[in-house]
């Protein structure tokens, strides 16, 4: 099969940042699906993993953790899917990624593709939806009637988190600094959009929110740490996904307020083979139903064409710029239009 990967960490300005190569088609294990990949999305984690590959690797490491495709073969113990099923998933960061014609993925972390979406649209959902869902419902356990501040509302995770929180009955405040990203947050359903390049505390207070019950920070943990500590309500919850680069104070006022701090890492269940690993498949199945019912919409905002070393460089450059709104998708079908039908 044809695959796209990296030999070592290189900047997107270097022409050989990615390489196209031939490799053996993977063989599914007992719980695996062999998926013919039809479309993939690019996430910040792709760029982070690329940047961390300091030592040369051969064969190249295949990146990509957002895919939609069709089941080509199944392992001996697979019970949930059959050959020919259309599926979508984020995958397992400890295994080869989806930037290839075929990929093996454990059936427990796979869901049926929403019937109302194209493969490209469906590929925009899994990683960000799982992150948002697990963070809000499995970790923070948000409740209807509460307030939620989302720092970084226009990104992939923020786009889904806004929708999930609104469906759950929360009042959602999202941050965005540009007119187009603010408009996107409103389109996703945010009740209030504030500018994170300005004083967030003052903006919240001016809007009648002296404190908030929950804060989900999808951007930069340390940059907003003191703000979150001041704005969070007593017995409130913080959700974090970006590892801090500096030491943070965990005592007062967080201790005095009995604030709970939650980490969300979507790959944890697959990486550690947790007993509840199948929870991700369940989430994706429910999400698929909600999409088909019109409750949740996809977050694809751009299609970069077919996967190539050049389109991957462009997509990674967009992720690294920090200006992405929604999700950027690429196709693996020979004819791009095939993915849009």
pLDDT of 319 reads: 85
Average pLDDT over residues 254-281: 97
* CATH of segment(s) 128-263: 3.40.50.720
The DSSP 8-state label assigned to residue 23 in this structure reads -
Kindly tell me the sign of the dihedral angle through the C-alpha atoms of 332, 126, 154, 271.
Answer: negative
How does pLDDT run across 167-210, given as a tens digit for each residue? 999 999 999 989 999 999 999 999 999 998 899 999 999 999 99
Average pLDDT over residues 272-297: 98
How does pLDDT run across 199-241, given as a tens digit for each residue? 999 999 999 999 999 999 999 999 999 999 999 999 999 999 9
Cβ contact 164:130 at 8 Å: no
Secondary structure of 282-317 in HEC code, one letter for each residue: HHHHHHHHHHHCCCCCCCEEEEEEECCHHHHHHHHH
How does pLDDT run across 50-91, given as a tens digit for each residue? 999 888 899 999 999 999 999 999 999 999 999 999 999 999
Number of Cβ atoms within 10 Å of the Cβ of 297: 18
Report strand pairing: 327-331 vs 32-42.
Answer: antiparallel
Residue 236 token pair: 């409130």
Band the pLDDT of 333: cuts 50, 70, 90.
low
The DSSP 8-state label assigned to residue 211 in this structure reads S
Backbone angles phi, psi at 52, to 5 degrees: -85, -10
Band the pLDDT of 323: cuts 50, 70, 90.
confident
The DSSP 8-state label assigned to residue 32 in this structure reads E
Residue 124 token pair: 């925009």
How does pLDDT run across 134-166, given as a tens digit for each residue? 999 999 999 999 999 999 999 999 999 999 999
Domain ranges of the chain: 2-125+271-340, 128-263
pLDDT of 174 reads: 98
pLDDT of 341 reads: 32
The CA distances from residue 201 to 102, 241, 248, 290, in Å, are: 48, 21, 20, 34
Residue from 52, 58, 59, 56 nearest 8 by CA = 56
Cβ contact 113:81 at 8 Å: no
Query: Residue 239: which H helix or E strand, with range?
Result: strand 232-240
Sheet holding 147-151, edge to edge: 192-194, 171-175, 147-151, 212-217, 232-240, 260-263
Please provide the average confidence, as pLDDT, over all residues in the chain.
94
Of the candidate CATH numbers 3.40.190.10, 3.40.220.10, 3.90.180.10, 3.90.1580.10, the domain formed by 2-125+271-340 belongs to 3.90.180.10
Q: Is the pLDDT of residue 334 over 60?
A: no
């Amino acid at each position: 099969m044809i695959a796209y990967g990296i030999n070592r960490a290189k900047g997107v300005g270097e022409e050989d940042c990615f390489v196209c190569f031939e490799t053996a088609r993977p063989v599914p294990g007992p719980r695996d699906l062999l998926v013919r990949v039809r479309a993939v999305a690019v996430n910040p984690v792709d760029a982070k993993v690329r940047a961390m590959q300091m030592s040369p690797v051969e064969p190249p490491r295949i990146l990509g953790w957002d895919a939609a495709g069709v089941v080509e073969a199944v392992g001996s113990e697979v019970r949930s899917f059959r050959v020919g099923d259309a599926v979508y998933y984020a995958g397992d960061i400890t295994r080869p990624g989806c930037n290839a014609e075929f990929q093996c993925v454990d059936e427990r972390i796979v869901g049926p593709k929403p019937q109302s979406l194209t493969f490209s649209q469906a590929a925009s959902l899994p990683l960000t939806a799982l992150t948002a869902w697990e963070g809000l419902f499995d970790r923070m356990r948000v409740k209807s009637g509460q307030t939620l501040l989302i720092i970084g509302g226009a990104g992939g995770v923020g786009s889904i988190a806004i929708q999930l929180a609104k469906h759950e009955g929360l009042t959602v405040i999202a941050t965005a600094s540009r007119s187009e990203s603010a408009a996107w947050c409103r389109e996703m359903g945010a009740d209030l959009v504030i500018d994170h390049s300005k004083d967030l505390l003052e903006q919240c207070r001016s809007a009648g929110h002296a404190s908030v019950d929950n804060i989900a920070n999808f951007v930069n943990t340390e940059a907003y740490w003191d703000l979150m500590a001041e704005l969070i309500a007593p017995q409130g919850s913080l959700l974090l996904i970006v590892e801090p680069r500096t030491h943070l104070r965990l005592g007062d006022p967080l201790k005095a307020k009995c604030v709970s701090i939650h980490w969300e890492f979507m790959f944890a269940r697959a990486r550690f083979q947790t007993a509840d690993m199948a929870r991700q498949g369940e989430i994706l199945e429910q999400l698929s139903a909600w999409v088909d019912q019109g409750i949740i919409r996809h977050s694809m905002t751009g299609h970069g064409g077919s996967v190539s070393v050049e389109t991957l460089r462009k997509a990674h450059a967009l992720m690294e710029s920090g200006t992405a709104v929604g999700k950027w998708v690429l196709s693996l079908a020979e004819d791009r239009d095939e993915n849009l039908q």
